[in-house]
């Protein structure tokens, strides 16, 4: 009976030991296995069995892309300006064996390497160049870190400068410069607007003057055309009258009487002296004589 109990207990112990030495490696992970203290193999995704008391799992490594957020660190530019810069490093493990045995603390090593490399890069640049060359700094930093971490089984995919904080007095000077630049642009825009407005007003006045001149020109042309038509009508009427007189064949006496009427109409009460040709004077005397004769004939005869 005791023997069965012992065998059962022994079987239970064996089952527990076997169960504890069965390992399942998940996706995007790897296990570094040591055998008797030395590196043996690297387990990838799947079911694995570890030899009890001989093999052990030295390290479980994540193969996902990881993020190392470095805190702000002081750096000095070429023109002796101290700034606070924090970085973000994106990396992944490519060789679990080198990641396990290449360096004591990979994350701390990468953080320290990032800080020292960043100081070296910034130390060769001036403040203005540092503020405007983020892409250049990121590229240089990534290349250097990727090459330096290759013996550690790591690959640096991307490095970003998260924040750059210059000293407070530098920030105030930059803010003043930006404010002055905005005011300058505002002044230029206002002057440009005023210039455009003046140009539009001048163009409007020019067009109005042109339109007024055209209107006056057209009015003058219409007046001239009207006067020409009036003169033409008068001349036409005069010519028609002369033609009718010619057709009626008037005697010389009638012509001279019409001339006398024309002189009287020309005087019109405004002339103080009129010189009458001798021929018309004779006609005038003749007309007066005829008037006298007609007047005597019209008087009644005296009583006997």
121-171 pLDDT tens trace: 999 988 888 888 889 999 999 999 999 999 999 999 999 998 888 888 877
SS3 call for 286: helix
Nearest CA to 121 among 112, 111, 133?
A: 133
On whether the CB atoms of residues 91 and 70 are closer than 8 A, the answer is no
Q: How does residue 18 score in pLDDT terms, banded at 50, 70 and 90?
A: confident
CA dist 159 and 117 (Å) reads: 12
Q: What is the average pLDDT value for the chain, to the nearest integer?
A: 81
- Residue range 205-228, pLDDT digits in tens: 888 888 888 888 888 888 888 888
Contacts for 29 with CB less than 8 Å, ≥ 6 apart: 45, 60, 61, 62, 63
- How many angstroms from the chain centroid is the CA of residue 143? 38
Q: Would you state the structure tokens that stand for residue 270, as one six-digit string?
A: 């405004």
pLDDT for residue 258: 63
| Eight-state DSSP code of residue 277 | -
pLDDT computed for residue 62 by the predictor: 93
DSSP 300: P
* Average pLDDT estimate for 78-103: 91
End-to-end CA distance of the chain: 216
Dihedral angle over CA of 171, 173, 178, 180, nearest 10: 160
> How confident is the model over 44-73, as pLDDT tens digits?
999 988 888 888 999 999 999 999 999 998
Q: How would residue 299 be classed by pLDDT, with cut points 50, 70 and 90?
A: very low
Rg (CA), the chain: 63
Decide which of 263 and 209 is more confident: 209
Coil vs helix vs strand at 110: helix
Every domain of the chain and the residues it spans: 2-62, 66-166
CATH architecture of 66-166: 2-Layer Sandwich (3.30)
pLDDT average, residue stretch 246-267: 61
């Amino acid at each position: 009976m005791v023997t069965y109990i012992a065998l059962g207990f022994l079987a239970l112990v064996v089952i527990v030991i076997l169960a504890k030495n069965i390992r399942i490696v998940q996706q995007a992970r790897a296990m570094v296995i040591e055998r008797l203290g030395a590196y043996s193999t690297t387990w990838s995704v799947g079911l694995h069995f570890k030899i009890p008391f001989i093999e052990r799992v030295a390290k479980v490594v994540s193969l996902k892309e990881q993020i190392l957020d470095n805190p702000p660190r002081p750096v000095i530019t070429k023109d002796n300006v101290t700034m606070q810069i924090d970085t973000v490093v994106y990396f992944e493990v490519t060789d679990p064996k080198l990641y396990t045995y290449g360096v004591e603390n990979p994350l701390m090593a990468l953080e320290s390497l990032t800080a020292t490399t960043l100081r070296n890069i910034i130390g060769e640049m001036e403040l203005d160049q540092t503020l405007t060359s983020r892409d250049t700094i990121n590229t240089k930093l990534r290349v250097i870190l990727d090459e330096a971490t290759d013996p550690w089984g790591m690959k640096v995919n991307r490095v970003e400068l998260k924040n750059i904080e210059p000293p407070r007095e530098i920030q105030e000077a930059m803010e003043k410069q930006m404010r002055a630049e905005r005011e300058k642009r505002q002044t230029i825009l206002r002057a440009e607007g005023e210039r455009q407005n003046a140009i539009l007003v001048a163009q409007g006045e020019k067009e109005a003057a042109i339109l007024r001149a055209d209107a006056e020109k057209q009015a003058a042309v219409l007046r001239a055309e009207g006067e020409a038509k009036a003169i033409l009508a008068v001349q036409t009427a005069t010519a028609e009258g002369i033609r009718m007189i010619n057709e009626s064949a008037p005697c010389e006496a009638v012509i001279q009487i019409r001339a006398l009427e024309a002189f009287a109409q020309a005087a019109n009460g405004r002339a103080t002296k009129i010189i009458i040709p001798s021929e018309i004077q004779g006609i005038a005397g003749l007309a007066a004589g005829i008037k006298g004769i007609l007047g005597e004939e019209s008087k009644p005869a005296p009583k006997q």
